[in-house]
C-alpha cells in the first residue's frame, strides 16, 4: 500500500477550500478549551466545529483576511487595514448563532470580552492557526506561522493573538511571542492568554 504524501508548503486558501478547512480545523481544535466550552457535546462537537470554521472562513476571514493552508493545516490572519471589515456582520452572527445553539450567548460574551484586550497600536492579528493532529509535528503549523509573520515583519508591524490552550504558549514563544496578560472569559469560561510579537527587521 502506498502512503499519500502531504506538503506543508503554504498556499493561498480559496473559498473552494472551505469544506476541507472546516474539517481540518475541527480536528485541530477538538480539545481546545474554548471550543470545548462552545461545543460541550462530544458527540456533535466535530460537526459543529466544522460548520463553525467553514462559516467564519467563507463569510469573514476568506473575504477580508489573509488565509493560507497546507495539506493538513490552515491559518487566518487580518492585516490592520482590514480589521474593521473582518468583524462579523449580522448575517454571519445569525448563522453562527444557529450553529452554536444554546452556547451562542456565551460566544457573544466571549467575543466582547476578547475585544476589550484589542491593542490600540496598528498590528496584524492571527485569528486562527491549527493543524490536523495527523500532521502535527510535521511543520504544517510552523510553516503557516512563518509565512504570516514574514508579511507582518515586511510591514514593520507587531502581531497579536489570543490562545485558550496553555500548552500552545511555548510554540508561540518559540516564534517570538510574549504573554501580555490573561483574560478570564465570562460565564465560567476558560482563560485566554493575550500574546504579542514585536516586528523583526
Q: How far is CA 162 from CA 10, 27, 30, 56, 127, in A?
A: 22, 19, 17, 17, 8
Domains for the chain: give ranges and CATH numbers. 13-197 (3.40.630.30)
Sequence-ordered alpha helix ranges (H) in 29-168: 33-38, 45-56, 62-64, 90-100, 104-115, 140-154
Q: Is 87 within 8 Å of 121 (Cβ atoms)?
A: no
Residue 1 has a pLDDT of 40
Q: The pTM is what?
A: 0.93
- Pairing state between β 124-131 and 159-163: parallel
pLDDT in tens, 175-193: 999 999 998 888 888 999 9
Residue with cell 514585536: 198
pLDDT in tens, 37-57: 999 999 999 999 999 999 999
Amino acid at each position: 500500500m502506498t502512503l499519500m504524501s502531504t506538503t506543508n508548503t503554504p498556499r493561498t486558501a480559496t473559498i473552494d477550500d472551505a469544506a476541507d478547512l472546516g474539517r481540518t480545523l475541527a480536528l485541530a481544535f477538538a480539545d481546545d478549551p474554548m471550543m470545548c466550552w462552545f461545543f460541550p457535546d462530544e458527540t456533535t462537537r466535530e460537526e459543529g466545529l466544522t460548520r463553525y470554521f467553514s462559516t467564519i472562513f467563507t463569510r469573514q476571514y476568506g473575504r477580508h483576511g489573509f488565509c493560507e493552508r497546507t495539506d493538513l493545516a490552515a491559518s487566518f490572519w487580518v492585516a490592520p487595514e482590514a480589521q474593521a471589515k473582518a468583524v462579523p456582520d449580522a448575517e454571519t452572527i445569525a448563522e453562527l448563532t444557529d450553529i452554536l445553539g444554546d452556547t451562542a450567548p456565551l460566544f457573544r460574551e466571549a467575543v466582547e470580552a476578547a475585544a476589550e484586550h484589542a491593542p490600540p497600536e496598528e498590528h496584524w492579528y492571527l485569528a486562527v492557526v491549527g493543524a490536523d493532529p495527523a500532521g502535527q509535528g510535521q511543520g504544517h503549523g510552523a510553516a503557516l506561522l512563518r509565512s504570516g509573520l514574514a508579511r507582518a515583519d515586511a510591514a514593520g508591524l507587531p502581531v497579536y493573538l489570543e490562545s485558550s490552550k496553555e500548552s500552545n504558549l511555548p510554540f508561540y514563544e518559540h516564534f517570538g511571542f510574549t504573554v501580555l496578560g490573561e483574560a478570564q472569559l465570562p460565564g465560567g469560561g476558560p482563560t485566554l492568554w493575550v500574546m504579542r510579537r514585536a516586528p523583526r527587521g
